[in-house]
Amino acid sequence: MAGGLADRPRYAYAAPPELGQDSVRRAPIVIVGAGPVGLCAAAELAMLGHDTILLDEDDTVSVGSRAICWAKRTLEIFDRIGVGDRMVGKGVVWNRGRLFHRDREVYNFDLLPEPGHQRPAFINLQQYYVEEYLVDRVQELGRTDIRWRNRVVGLDVLPDGGARLTVETPDGNYRLDADYVLAADGVRSPIRRMMGLDFKGKVFEDRFLIADVIMKADFPSERWFWFEPPFHSGQSVLLHRQPDDVFRIDFQLDPSADPEEERKPENVVPRLQQMLGPDKPFDLEWVSVYTFTCRRMERFHHGPVFFVGDSAHVVSPFGARGGNGGIQDVDALCWRLAAVLNGTAPAALLDSYDAERIPAADENLLNSTRSTDFITPKNEASVAFREAALDLAADLPFARRVVNSGRLSLPHTYAATPLSTPDGDAWSGGPRPGAPAPDAPVQVAEGEPWLLRRLGGRFTLLRFVDDPAAAALGGVPDGVDVVTVARSGRPDGATVIDRDGTAFARWDAADGSAYLVRPDQHVAARWRTPEPGAIATALARALGRPAAAEARRAAGG
Protein backbone atom coordinates (compact mmCIF):
# COMPACT_ATOMS: atom_id res chain seq x y z
CA MET A 1 0.00 0.00 0.00
CA ALA A 2 1.32 3.42 -0.93
CA GLY A 3 1.42 6.14 1.69
CA GLY A 4 0.48 5.54 5.29
CA LEU A 5 2.54 5.14 8.36
CA ALA A 6 4.98 2.74 6.71
CA ASP A 7 6.02 5.32 4.12
CA ARG A 8 6.33 8.35 6.28
CA PRO A 9 8.99 10.81 5.21
CA ARG A 10 12.37 11.25 6.87
CA TYR A 11 13.82 14.72 6.79
CA ALA A 12 17.51 15.37 6.46
CA TYR A 13 19.53 16.76 9.31
CA ALA A 14 22.07 19.43 8.40
CA ALA A 15 24.73 20.69 10.79
CA PRO A 16 23.58 24.17 11.95
CA PRO A 17 25.98 27.03 11.07
CA GLU A 18 26.06 28.16 14.72
CA LEU A 19 27.88 24.99 15.87
CA GLY A 20 31.27 25.81 17.30
CA GLN A 21 30.70 29.58 17.05
CA ASP A 22 31.54 31.82 19.98
CA SER A 23 29.11 34.57 19.08
CA VAL A 24 25.42 33.77 19.56
CA ARG A 25 22.97 34.50 16.80
CA ARG A 26 19.70 36.22 17.70
CA ALA A 27 16.50 35.35 15.82
CA PRO A 28 13.20 37.20 16.21
CA ILE A 29 11.18 33.98 16.59
CA VAL A 30 12.22 30.42 17.38
CA ILE A 31 9.55 27.71 17.37
CA VAL A 32 10.31 24.56 19.35
CA GLY A 33 8.46 21.47 18.12
CA ALA A 34 7.36 20.52 14.61
CA GLY A 35 4.06 18.90 15.54
CA PRO A 36 0.88 20.20 13.92
CA VAL A 37 0.87 23.26 16.17
CA GLY A 38 4.49 24.34 15.68
CA LEU A 39 4.28 23.72 11.94
CA CYS A 40 1.09 25.70 11.69
CA ALA A 41 2.77 28.58 13.52
CA ALA A 42 5.71 28.52 11.08
CA ALA A 43 3.33 28.61 8.12
CA GLU A 44 1.20 31.41 9.57
CA LEU A 45 4.21 33.53 10.39
CA ALA A 46 5.62 32.92 6.92
CA MET A 47 2.32 34.04 5.41
CA LEU A 48 2.57 37.17 7.54
CA GLY A 49 6.07 37.78 6.17
CA HIS A 50 8.16 36.57 9.09
CA ASP A 51 11.18 34.30 9.07
CA THR A 52 11.45 31.74 11.85
CA ILE A 53 13.71 28.95 13.02
CA LEU A 54 11.84 25.72 13.79
CA LEU A 55 13.62 23.16 15.96
CA ASP A 56 12.51 19.55 16.32
CA GLU A 57 14.27 16.76 18.14
CA ASP A 58 13.09 14.15 15.66
CA ASP A 59 13.39 13.82 11.88
CA THR A 60 9.96 12.60 10.89
CA VAL A 61 6.22 13.13 11.33
CA SER A 62 4.00 11.82 14.13
CA VAL A 63 4.15 8.07 14.68
CA GLY A 64 1.24 5.98 15.92
CA SER A 65 -2.44 6.61 16.64
CA ARG A 66 -2.91 10.27 17.28
CA ALA A 67 -5.21 13.00 15.93
CA ILE A 68 -7.57 12.14 13.10
CA CYS A 69 -10.49 14.61 13.32
CA TRP A 70 -9.81 18.13 12.02
CA ALA A 71 -12.60 20.61 12.58
CA LYS A 72 -14.07 23.14 10.18
CA ARG A 73 -12.27 25.98 11.92
CA THR A 74 -8.91 24.25 11.49
CA LEU A 75 -9.67 23.71 7.81
CA GLU A 76 -10.41 27.43 7.46
CA ILE A 77 -7.03 28.21 9.04
CA PHE A 78 -5.43 25.66 6.71
CA ASP A 79 -7.07 27.50 3.80
CA ARG A 80 -5.45 30.71 4.92
CA ILE A 81 -2.00 29.14 4.94
CA GLY A 82 -2.66 27.44 1.62
CA VAL A 83 -2.98 23.76 2.58
CA GLY A 84 -6.76 23.42 2.97
CA ASP A 85 -7.37 21.89 -0.44
CA ARG A 86 -4.67 19.27 -0.03
CA MET A 87 -5.91 18.28 3.43
CA VAL A 88 -9.56 18.11 2.37
CA GLY A 89 -8.63 16.35 -0.88
CA LYS A 90 -6.95 13.52 0.99
CA GLY A 91 -9.18 13.49 4.08
CA VAL A 92 -12.49 11.74 4.65
CA VAL A 93 -15.22 14.37 4.86
CA TRP A 94 -17.91 13.82 7.45
CA ASN A 95 -20.74 15.74 9.09
CA ARG A 96 -22.84 13.03 10.71
CA GLY A 97 -22.54 11.26 14.04
CA ARG A 98 -24.53 8.14 14.90
CA LEU A 99 -25.13 6.90 18.40
CA PHE A 100 -25.89 3.34 19.44
CA HIS A 101 -26.90 1.87 22.78
CA ARG A 102 -26.58 -1.89 23.18
CA ASP A 103 -27.95 -3.29 19.91
CA ARG A 104 -29.96 -0.34 18.61
CA GLU A 105 -29.35 3.04 17.03
CA VAL A 106 -30.61 5.73 19.40
CA TYR A 107 -30.26 8.76 17.14
CA ASN A 108 -27.99 10.51 14.68
CA PHE A 109 -27.06 14.14 14.27
CA ASP A 110 -25.71 16.46 11.59
CA LEU A 111 -22.92 18.72 12.82
CA LEU A 112 -23.33 21.15 9.93
CA PRO A 113 -27.06 21.14 9.24
CA GLU A 114 -27.08 24.16 6.91
CA PRO A 115 -25.55 24.40 3.44
CA GLY A 116 -23.48 27.36 2.27
CA HIS A 117 -20.13 26.68 3.95
CA GLN A 118 -17.04 25.85 1.93
CA ARG A 119 -15.73 23.44 4.55
CA PRO A 120 -17.46 20.49 6.22
CA ALA A 121 -17.85 20.06 9.98
CA PHE A 122 -14.87 17.67 9.99
CA ILE A 123 -12.42 15.71 7.95
CA ASN A 124 -10.61 12.65 9.19
CA LEU A 125 -6.95 12.61 8.27
CA GLN A 126 -4.11 10.86 10.05
CA GLN A 127 -1.87 13.25 11.97
CA TYR A 128 1.13 12.01 9.99
CA TYR A 129 -0.43 13.29 6.77
CA VAL A 130 -1.35 16.62 8.35
CA GLU A 131 2.23 17.09 9.50
CA GLU A 132 3.71 16.01 6.17
CA TYR A 133 1.52 18.46 4.23
CA LEU A 134 2.36 21.23 6.67
CA VAL A 135 6.09 20.52 6.34
CA ASP A 136 5.75 20.66 2.54
CA ARG A 137 3.89 23.95 2.76
CA VAL A 138 6.35 25.48 5.22
CA GLN A 139 9.19 24.52 2.90
CA GLU A 140 7.34 25.94 -0.09
CA LEU A 141 6.78 29.24 1.69
CA GLY A 142 10.54 29.40 2.18
CA ARG A 143 10.70 31.52 5.31
CA THR A 144 11.36 28.82 7.88
CA ASP A 145 14.71 27.32 8.74
CA ILE A 146 13.53 23.84 9.83
CA ARG A 147 16.18 22.05 11.83
CA TRP A 148 15.53 18.35 12.34
CA ARG A 149 17.30 16.47 15.14
CA ASN A 150 17.82 19.74 17.00
CA ARG A 151 16.72 19.20 20.60
CA VAL A 152 16.32 22.09 23.00
CA VAL A 153 18.03 21.14 26.25
CA GLY A 154 18.28 24.50 27.97
CA LEU A 155 16.40 27.79 28.17
CA ASP A 156 17.44 30.94 30.01
CA VAL A 157 15.63 34.23 30.05
CA LEU A 158 18.07 36.99 29.17
CA PRO A 159 18.30 40.29 31.06
CA ASP A 160 16.99 42.13 27.98
CA GLY A 161 13.81 40.00 28.00
CA GLY A 162 14.80 37.59 25.23
CA ALA A 163 15.60 33.91 25.62
CA ARG A 164 18.76 31.87 25.15
CA LEU A 165 18.28 28.30 23.99
CA THR A 166 20.81 25.52 24.24
CA VAL A 167 20.30 23.10 21.39
CA GLU A 168 21.68 19.58 21.12
CA THR A 169 22.46 18.07 17.71
CA PRO A 170 24.21 14.91 16.52
CA ASP A 171 27.30 17.14 16.10
CA GLY A 172 27.21 18.76 19.52
CA ASN A 173 25.49 21.67 21.23
CA TYR A 174 25.04 25.27 20.19
CA ARG A 175 23.34 28.37 21.58
CA LEU A 176 20.66 30.44 19.92
CA ASP A 177 18.99 33.62 21.18
CA ALA A 178 15.45 34.66 20.36
CA ASP A 179 13.19 37.62 20.99
CA TYR A 180 10.29 35.19 21.24
CA VAL A 181 10.08 31.43 21.71
CA LEU A 182 6.99 29.43 20.82
CA ALA A 183 7.02 26.30 22.98
CA ALA A 184 5.14 23.83 20.76
CA ASP A 185 7.00 20.94 22.32
CA GLY A 186 4.01 18.76 23.20
CA VAL A 187 2.35 17.42 26.31
CA ARG A 188 5.61 16.51 28.06
CA SER A 189 7.03 19.95 27.19
CA PRO A 190 10.71 19.98 28.17
CA ILE A 191 10.56 23.80 28.09
CA ARG A 192 7.75 23.83 30.64
CA ARG A 193 9.93 21.69 32.88
CA MET A 194 13.05 23.77 32.30
CA MET A 195 11.08 26.80 33.43
CA GLY A 196 9.71 24.93 36.45
CA LEU A 197 6.07 25.60 35.54
CA ASP A 198 3.04 23.61 36.72
CA PHE A 199 0.68 21.51 34.64
CA LYS A 200 -2.36 20.74 36.79
CA GLY A 201 -5.62 18.95 36.20
CA LYS A 202 -7.50 15.71 36.20
CA VAL A 203 -6.28 12.22 35.33
CA PHE A 204 -8.86 9.65 34.23
CA GLU A 205 -8.30 6.09 35.40
CA ASP A 206 -9.94 4.31 32.52
CA ARG A 207 -7.77 2.93 29.81
CA PHE A 208 -8.59 3.03 26.13
CA LEU A 209 -7.32 0.67 23.49
CA ILE A 210 -6.84 2.62 20.28
CA ALA A 211 -6.46 0.55 17.14
CA ASP A 212 -5.84 1.72 13.60
CA VAL A 213 -7.10 -1.12 11.44
CA ILE A 214 -6.60 -1.54 7.70
CA MET A 215 -9.53 -3.25 6.01
CA LYS A 216 -12.04 -3.03 3.19
CA ALA A 217 -15.31 -2.16 4.87
CA ASP A 218 -18.41 -0.28 3.90
CA PHE A 219 -18.91 1.72 7.07
CA PRO A 220 -20.08 5.15 5.93
CA SER A 221 -18.02 8.30 6.50
CA GLU A 222 -19.62 9.04 9.88
CA ARG A 223 -18.67 9.02 13.53
CA TRP A 224 -20.19 5.94 15.20
CA PHE A 225 -20.31 5.70 18.94
CA TRP A 226 -21.62 2.75 20.93
CA PHE A 227 -22.53 2.68 24.59
CA GLU A 228 -22.37 -0.92 25.81
CA PRO A 229 -22.44 -2.67 22.44
CA PRO A 230 -23.06 -6.43 22.45
CA PHE A 231 -19.56 -6.95 21.02
CA HIS A 232 -17.75 -5.16 23.87
CA SER A 233 -19.70 -5.78 27.01
CA GLY A 234 -20.40 -2.94 29.36
CA GLN A 235 -17.99 -0.49 27.73
CA SER A 236 -18.01 2.02 24.91
CA VAL A 237 -16.56 1.93 21.41
CA LEU A 238 -15.88 4.67 18.86
CA LEU A 239 -15.36 4.14 15.14
CA HIS A 240 -14.03 6.56 12.52
CA ARG A 241 -13.06 6.08 8.89
CA GLN A 242 -9.71 7.48 7.76
CA PRO A 243 -8.16 7.64 4.28
CA ASP A 244 -6.38 4.59 2.78
CA ASP A 245 -9.00 2.14 4.18
CA VAL A 246 -7.75 2.74 7.71
CA PHE A 247 -10.31 2.69 10.52
CA ARG A 248 -9.79 4.13 13.98
CA ILE A 249 -11.46 2.03 16.67
CA ASP A 250 -11.34 3.07 20.35
CA PHE A 251 -12.29 0.44 22.93
CA GLN A 252 -12.87 1.53 26.48
CA LEU A 253 -11.11 -0.84 28.92
CA ASP A 254 -11.27 -1.28 32.67
CA PRO A 255 -8.96 0.86 34.78
CA SER A 256 -7.36 -2.42 35.86
CA ALA A 257 -6.51 -3.50 32.29
CA ASP A 258 -2.83 -4.24 31.73
CA PRO A 259 -1.64 -1.99 28.89
CA GLU A 260 1.18 -4.29 27.83
CA GLU A 261 -1.13 -7.30 27.59
CA GLU A 262 -3.97 -5.42 25.94
CA ARG A 263 -1.93 -4.17 23.06
CA LYS A 264 -0.66 -7.61 22.09
CA PRO A 265 -2.17 -8.73 18.77
CA GLU A 266 -3.42 -11.97 20.32
CA ASN A 267 -5.64 -9.88 22.59
CA VAL A 268 -6.55 -7.14 20.13
CA VAL A 269 -7.57 -9.40 17.26
CA PRO A 270 -10.35 -11.22 19.19
CA ARG A 271 -11.84 -7.89 20.27
CA LEU A 272 -11.93 -6.75 16.68
CA GLN A 273 -13.36 -10.07 15.49
CA GLN A 274 -16.19 -9.75 17.97
CA MET A 275 -16.98 -6.36 16.51
CA LEU A 276 -16.36 -7.02 12.83
CA GLY A 277 -17.24 -10.72 12.57
CA PRO A 278 -14.90 -13.70 12.59
CA ASP A 279 -14.25 -13.75 8.84
CA LYS A 280 -13.48 -10.10 8.19
CA PRO A 281 -9.88 -9.77 6.98
CA PHE A 282 -7.95 -6.85 8.47
CA ASP A 283 -4.44 -5.75 9.35
CA LEU A 284 -3.36 -3.74 12.34
CA GLU A 285 -1.58 -0.52 11.44
CA TRP A 286 -0.97 0.57 15.02
CA VAL A 287 -2.28 -0.29 18.48
CA SER A 288 -1.79 1.64 21.69
CA VAL A 289 -3.32 1.82 25.15
CA TYR A 290 -3.90 5.28 26.56
CA THR A 291 -5.12 6.85 29.73
CA PHE A 292 -6.36 10.40 29.32
CA THR A 293 -5.78 13.56 31.24
CA CYS A 294 -7.22 17.05 31.22
CA ARG A 295 -4.66 19.61 32.37
CA ARG A 296 -3.45 23.08 31.66
CA MET A 297 -0.77 25.53 32.68
CA GLU A 298 -1.85 28.39 34.87
CA ARG A 299 -0.67 30.88 32.24
CA PHE A 300 0.64 30.33 28.72
CA HIS A 301 2.71 33.50 28.36
CA HIS A 302 5.93 33.69 30.38
CA GLY A 303 8.20 36.54 29.36
CA PRO A 304 9.65 35.71 25.94
CA VAL A 305 8.06 32.23 25.91
CA PHE A 306 4.58 31.41 24.64
CA PHE A 307 3.20 27.94 25.24
CA VAL A 308 0.98 26.72 22.40
CA GLY A 309 -0.86 23.43 21.82
CA ASP A 310 -0.39 20.39 24.05
CA SER A 311 2.46 21.97 26.01
CA ALA A 312 -0.06 24.50 27.38
CA HIS A 313 -3.14 22.30 27.75
CA VAL A 314 -4.10 18.71 27.13
CA VAL A 315 -7.57 17.17 26.85
CA SER A 316 -9.00 13.69 26.40
CA PRO A 317 -9.73 13.05 22.71
CA PHE A 318 -13.54 12.91 22.99
CA GLY A 319 -14.50 16.02 21.07
CA ALA A 320 -11.29 16.30 19.03
CA ARG A 321 -10.29 19.43 20.88
CA GLY A 322 -6.53 18.82 21.31
CA GLY A 323 -4.96 19.51 17.95
CA ASN A 324 -7.82 21.74 16.86
CA GLY A 325 -7.50 23.84 20.00
CA GLY A 326 -3.73 24.11 19.62
CA ILE A 327 -4.02 25.35 16.06
CA GLN A 328 -6.36 28.08 17.29
CA ASP A 329 -3.69 29.05 19.85
CA VAL A 330 -1.19 29.84 17.14
CA ASP A 331 -3.86 31.46 15.02
CA ALA A 332 -4.46 33.88 17.89
CA LEU A 333 -0.76 34.37 18.62
CA CYS A 334 0.90 34.73 15.21
CA TRP A 335 -0.81 37.91 14.00
CA ARG A 336 -0.05 39.51 17.36
CA LEU A 337 3.64 38.63 17.11
CA ALA A 338 3.74 39.90 13.54
CA ALA A 339 2.07 43.19 14.52
CA VAL A 340 4.51 43.72 17.39
CA LEU A 341 7.56 42.82 15.29
CA ASN A 342 6.32 45.10 12.50
CA GLY A 343 5.94 47.93 14.97
CA THR A 344 2.21 48.39 14.33
CA ALA A 345 1.29 47.30 17.85
CA PRO A 346 2.87 47.70 21.29
CA ALA A 347 4.31 44.64 23.03
CA ALA A 348 1.32 44.86 25.39
CA LEU A 349 -0.78 43.31 22.62
CA LEU A 350 0.91 40.00 23.46
CA ASP A 351 -0.59 40.05 26.96
CA SER A 352 -4.03 39.48 25.49
CA TYR A 353 -2.93 36.05 24.25
CA ASP A 354 -3.61 34.62 27.71
CA ALA A 355 -6.80 36.64 28.02
CA GLU A 356 -8.14 34.87 24.93
CA ARG A 357 -6.59 31.44 24.94
CA ILE A 358 -6.98 30.54 28.63
CA PRO A 359 -10.80 30.79 28.47
CA ALA A 360 -10.65 28.88 25.18
CA ALA A 361 -8.59 26.12 26.79
CA ASP A 362 -11.01 26.05 29.73
CA GLU A 363 -13.94 25.59 27.37
CA ASN A 364 -12.15 22.67 25.71
CA LEU A 365 -11.18 21.18 29.07
CA LEU A 366 -14.70 21.52 30.46
CA ASN A 367 -16.28 19.87 27.44
CA SER A 368 -13.83 17.02 27.18
CA THR A 369 -13.94 16.40 30.94
CA ARG A 370 -17.74 16.19 30.90
CA SER A 371 -17.70 13.85 27.91
CA THR A 372 -15.11 11.59 29.50
CA ASP A 373 -17.14 11.52 32.73
CA PHE A 374 -20.27 10.55 30.81
CA ILE A 375 -18.40 7.82 28.91
CA THR A 376 -16.80 6.44 32.09
CA PRO A 377 -19.51 6.66 34.81
CA LYS A 378 -18.06 6.14 38.24
CA ASN A 379 -20.93 5.23 40.58
CA GLU A 380 -24.41 3.75 40.68
CA ALA A 381 -26.09 7.12 40.23
CA SER A 382 -24.05 8.12 37.17
CA VAL A 383 -24.69 4.73 35.57
CA ALA A 384 -28.41 5.05 36.25
CA PHE A 385 -28.70 8.58 34.88
CA ARG A 386 -26.76 7.65 31.77
CA GLU A 387 -28.99 4.62 31.24
CA ALA A 388 -32.08 6.83 31.69
CA ALA A 389 -30.83 9.45 29.24
CA LEU A 390 -30.04 6.80 26.63
CA ASP A 391 -33.48 5.18 27.10
CA LEU A 392 -35.27 8.49 26.63
CA ALA A 393 -33.04 9.74 23.80
CA ALA A 394 -34.56 7.41 21.22
CA ASP A 395 -37.87 9.32 21.38
CA LEU A 396 -37.29 12.61 23.17
CA PRO A 397 -35.15 15.38 21.70
CA PHE A 398 -34.14 16.89 25.04
CA ALA A 399 -32.52 13.66 26.15
CA ARG A 400 -30.31 13.64 23.06
CA ARG A 401 -28.71 16.79 24.38
CA VAL A 402 -28.09 15.10 27.71
CA VAL A 403 -26.34 12.07 26.20
CA ASN A 404 -22.68 13.00 25.84
CA SER A 405 -20.32 10.97 23.65
CA GLY A 406 -18.12 13.99 22.91
CA ARG A 407 -18.94 17.65 22.29
CA LEU A 408 -17.10 18.18 19.06
CA SER A 409 -14.61 20.98 18.62
CA LEU A 410 -15.99 24.41 17.79
CA PRO A 411 -14.03 27.67 17.66
CA HIS A 412 -14.04 29.68 20.86
CA THR A 413 -15.72 33.09 20.97
CA TYR A 414 -13.43 35.58 22.74
CA ALA A 415 -16.32 36.98 24.76
CA ALA A 416 -14.25 38.92 27.29
CA THR A 417 -11.21 39.90 25.24
CA PRO A 418 -9.88 43.41 25.84
CA LEU A 419 -9.37 43.75 22.08
CA SER A 420 -13.07 43.86 21.22
CA THR A 421 -15.20 46.98 21.06
CA PRO A 422 -18.55 46.24 22.73
CA ASP A 423 -21.64 46.60 20.55
CA GLY A 424 -23.17 50.07 20.58
CA ASP A 425 -25.93 49.25 18.09
CA ALA A 426 -28.75 46.73 18.17
CA TRP A 427 -28.09 43.34 16.61
CA SER A 428 -30.31 40.28 16.49
CA GLY A 429 -27.65 37.84 15.29
CA GLY A 430 -24.43 37.70 13.36
CA PRO A 431 -21.00 37.16 14.91
CA ARG A 432 -20.65 39.28 18.03
CA PRO A 433 -17.30 40.88 18.85
CA GLY A 434 -14.82 38.10 19.63
CA ALA A 435 -16.65 35.51 17.54
CA PRO A 436 -15.13 33.83 14.48
CA ALA A 437 -16.37 35.06 11.10
CA PRO A 438 -19.01 32.83 9.51
CA ASP A 439 -18.60 31.70 5.92
CA ALA A 440 -21.10 32.27 3.10
CA PRO A 441 -21.16 31.61 -0.62
CA VAL A 442 -20.55 34.80 -2.63
CA GLN A 443 -20.00 35.68 -6.25
CA VAL A 444 -16.45 36.87 -6.89
CA ALA A 445 -14.53 38.24 -9.84
CA GLU A 446 -11.67 35.86 -9.26
CA GLY A 447 -10.70 33.11 -6.83
CA GLU A 448 -12.79 30.94 -4.55
CA PRO A 449 -16.45 32.00 -4.25
CA TRP A 450 -16.53 32.03 -0.46
CA LEU A 451 -16.61 34.96 1.92
CA LEU A 452 -14.00 33.58 4.34
CA ARG A 453 -11.45 33.50 1.53
CA ARG A 454 -11.63 37.33 1.50
CA LEU A 455 -10.83 37.67 5.19
CA GLY A 456 -7.77 37.00 7.29
CA GLY A 457 -4.09 37.79 7.36
CA ARG A 458 -4.79 41.49 7.89
CA PHE A 459 -7.44 43.73 9.41
CA THR A 460 -10.42 43.98 7.12
CA LEU A 461 -13.46 46.20 7.18
CA LEU A 462 -16.29 44.08 5.86
CA ARG A 463 -18.96 46.42 4.62
CA PHE A 464 -22.46 45.39 3.58
CA VAL A 465 -24.35 47.51 1.03
CA ASP A 466 -27.47 47.09 -1.08
CA ASP A 467 -26.01 48.94 -4.03
CA PRO A 468 -22.39 48.33 -5.06
CA ALA A 469 -22.27 51.89 -6.41
CA ALA A 470 -22.69 53.21 -2.84
CA ALA A 471 -20.18 55.89 -1.95
CA ALA A 472 -16.87 54.70 -0.53
CA LEU A 473 -16.67 54.72 3.23
CA GLY A 474 -14.63 57.47 4.89
CA GLY A 475 -12.54 57.07 8.01
CA VAL A 476 -10.92 53.75 7.11
CA PRO A 477 -7.49 53.88 8.75
CA ASP A 478 -4.25 52.77 7.16
CA GLY A 479 -3.59 49.09 7.48
CA VAL A 480 -7.25 48.14 7.08
CA ASP A 481 -8.47 46.62 3.82
CA VAL A 482 -12.06 47.07 2.75
CA VAL A 483 -14.13 44.23 1.37
CA THR A 484 -17.65 45.12 0.25
CA VAL A 485 -20.52 42.65 0.19
CA ALA A 486 -23.25 43.91 -2.14
CA ARG A 487 -26.71 42.46 -2.70
CA SER A 488 -26.49 42.92 -6.46
CA GLY A 489 -24.22 44.11 -9.22
CA ARG A 490 -20.97 42.83 -10.60
CA PRO A 491 -18.13 41.54 -8.45
CA ASP A 492 -14.70 43.08 -8.73
CA GLY A 493 -11.48 42.75 -6.76
CA ALA A 494 -12.76 44.19 -3.49
CA THR A 495 -16.50 43.62 -4.00
CA VAL A 496 -18.31 40.33 -3.69
CA ILE A 497 -21.97 39.75 -4.44
CA ASP A 498 -24.37 38.05 -2.06
CA ARG A 499 -26.90 36.79 -4.62
CA ASP A 500 -29.08 34.75 -2.30
CA GLY A 501 -28.72 36.88 0.83
CA THR A 502 -26.91 34.20 2.87
CA ALA A 503 -24.04 36.49 3.85
CA PHE A 504 -26.39 39.32 4.87
CA ALA A 505 -28.46 36.89 6.95
CA ARG A 506 -25.51 35.16 8.62
CA TRP A 507 -23.97 38.50 9.53
CA ASP A 508 -27.33 40.05 10.51
CA ALA A 509 -26.44 42.85 8.09
CA ALA A 510 -28.49 45.69 6.67
CA ASP A 511 -27.47 48.33 4.13
CA GLY A 512 -24.47 50.14 5.66
CA SER A 513 -23.55 47.56 8.33
CA ALA A 514 -19.81 47.11 8.78
CA TYR A 515 -17.58 44.68 10.70
CA LEU A 516 -13.94 45.10 11.61
CA VAL A 517 -12.41 41.63 11.26
CA ARG A 518 -9.02 40.73 12.75
CA PRO A 519 -6.25 38.92 10.90
CA ASP A 520 -7.38 35.68 12.59
CA GLN A 521 -10.90 36.17 11.20
CA HIS A 522 -12.42 36.99 14.58
CA VAL A 523 -14.68 40.02 14.82
CA ALA A 524 -13.19 43.06 16.61
CA ALA A 525 -16.10 45.50 16.27
CA ARG A 526 -19.28 46.13 14.31
CA TRP A 527 -21.58 49.00 13.51
CA ARG A 528 -24.90 49.60 11.82
CA THR A 529 -23.29 52.69 10.29
CA PRO A 530 -19.75 53.42 11.45
CA GLU A 531 -19.28 56.98 12.76
CA PRO A 532 -16.18 58.81 11.54
CA GLY A 533 -13.32 57.84 13.83
CA ALA A 534 -15.03 54.74 15.17
CA ILE A 535 -13.07 52.38 12.97
CA ALA A 536 -9.72 53.90 13.95
CA THR A 537 -10.68 53.70 17.62
CA ALA A 538 -11.69 50.06 17.30
CA LEU A 539 -8.51 49.26 15.39
CA ALA A 540 -6.36 50.88 18.07
CA ARG A 541 -8.13 48.83 20.70
CA ALA A 542 -7.74 45.61 18.69
CA LEU A 543 -4.01 46.34 18.48
CA GLY A 544 -3.69 46.72 22.23
CA ARG A 545 -3.59 50.52 22.24
CA PRO A 546 -6.65 51.41 24.36
CA ALA A 547 -4.98 54.47 25.89
CA ALA A 548 -4.16 55.98 22.52
CA ALA A 549 -7.69 55.25 21.40
CA GLU A 550 -9.11 57.04 24.42
CA ALA A 551 -6.93 60.08 23.79
CA ARG A 552 -8.04 60.23 20.19
CA ARG A 553 -11.68 59.96 21.15
CA ALA A 554 -11.29 62.73 23.74
CA ALA A 555 -9.70 64.91 21.07
CA GLY A 556 -12.82 64.36 18.95
CA GLY A 557 -10.93 62.50 16.24
Partner 1 sequence: MTTLKTDLNLTDADGFYERLIEAHRGLDGPASRRLNAKLVLLLANHVGDAAVLDEALRIARGER
Ligand X SMILES: Cc1cc2nc3c(=O)[nH]c(=O)nc-3n(C[C@H](O)[C@H](O)[C@H](O)COP(=O)(O)OP(=O)(O)OC[C@H]3O[C@@H](n4cnc5c(N)ncnc54)[C@H](O)[C@@H]3O)c2cc1C
Q: Hey, what amino acid is at 303?
A: G
Selected from 92, 135, 152, 419, the binder of ligand X by CB under 6 A is: 152
Nearest to 51 by CA among 32, 31, 66: 31
Q: What mask of x and - would describe binding to partner 1 in positions 487 to 526, judged by CB under 8 A? A: ----------------------------------------
Find the shortest distance in angstroms from Cβ 151 to ligand X.
Answer: 4
- Asked whether position 395 contacts partner 1 by CB under 8 A, the answer is yes
- Binding partner of 385, given ligand X, partner 1, none, CB within 5-8 angstroms per partner class: partner 1
CB of 371 to partner 1, least distance (A): 9
SS3 of 436, please?
A: strand
- Pair type for strands 92-94 and 122-124: antiparallel
Inter-residue contact 129 to 90 (CB < 8 Å): yes
Among the listed ranges 51-59, 271-279, 396-404, 470-478, the one in contact with ligand X (CB under 6 A) is: 51-59
**Contact pattern from residue 290 through residue 309 relative to ligand X, giving x for each residue in contact according to CB under 6 A and a dash for the rest:** x------------------x
- d(C-alpha 473, C-alpha 320), whole Å: 42
Work out which of 127, 242, 328, 537 binds ligand X, going by CB under 6 A. Answer: 127
Closest CA to 304 of 360, 349, 350, 361: 350
Residue 110 binds partner 1 (CB under 8 A) = no
* Helices marked H in 205-281: 259-262, 265-276
Is residue 209 within 8 Å of residue 253, measured between CB atoms? Answer: yes
| CB-CB neighbours of 435 under 10 Å | 17
Question: What's the CA gap between 270 and 510, in Å, rounded?
Answer: 61
**From the list partner 1, ligand X, none, which binds 402 (C-beta under 5 to 8 Å, kind-based)?**
partner 1
| Residue 55 binds ligand X, judged by CB under 6 A | yes
- DSSP result, 324-364: HHHHHHHHHHHHHHHHHHTTSS-GGGGGHHHHHHHHHHHHH
Question: What is the widest separation between alpha-carbon atoms in the chain?
Answer: 80
* Binds partner 1 by CB under 8 A, chosen from 373, 481, 500, 508: 373
Amino acid at 458: R
Encoded one letter per residue, x for contact with ligand X by CB under 6 A and - for no contact, window 191-230 reads: -------------------x--------------------
Confirm if 95 and 220 have CB atoms less than 8 A apart.
no
Q: Which of 317, 430, 431, 544 binds ligand X (CB under 6 A)?
A: 317
Q: State yes or no: residue 185 binds ligand X (CB under 6 A).
A: yes
Q: Which residues contact 165 (CB under 8 A, 6 or more apart)?
A: 30, 32, 55, 152, 154, 155, 175, 176, 177, 178, 181
Task: Tell which one of 43, 54, 67, 465 touches ligand X (CB under 6 A).
Answer: 67
Residue placing its CB nearer to ligand X in the complex, 66 or 302: 66
Minimum Å gap between C-beta 323 and ligand X is 3
Instruction: Please state the φ and ψ torsions of residue 32, each to the nearest 5 degrees.
Output: -110, 115
Does 219 contact partner 1 by CB under 8 A?
Answer: no
- In the set 26, 143, 370, 528, which binds partner 1 (CB under 8 A)? 370
Among 35-43, 391-399, 456-464, 524-532, which window interacts with ligand X (CB under 6 A)? Answer: 35-43
Binding site for ligand X (CB under 6 A): 32-38, 55-58, 62, 65-69, 127, 151-152, 184-186, 190, 210, 290, 309-310, 317, 320, 322-324, 326
Residue ranges that bind partner 1, judged by CB under 8 A: 367, 370, 373-374, 377, 379-382, 385, 391-392, 395-398, 401-402, 404, 407
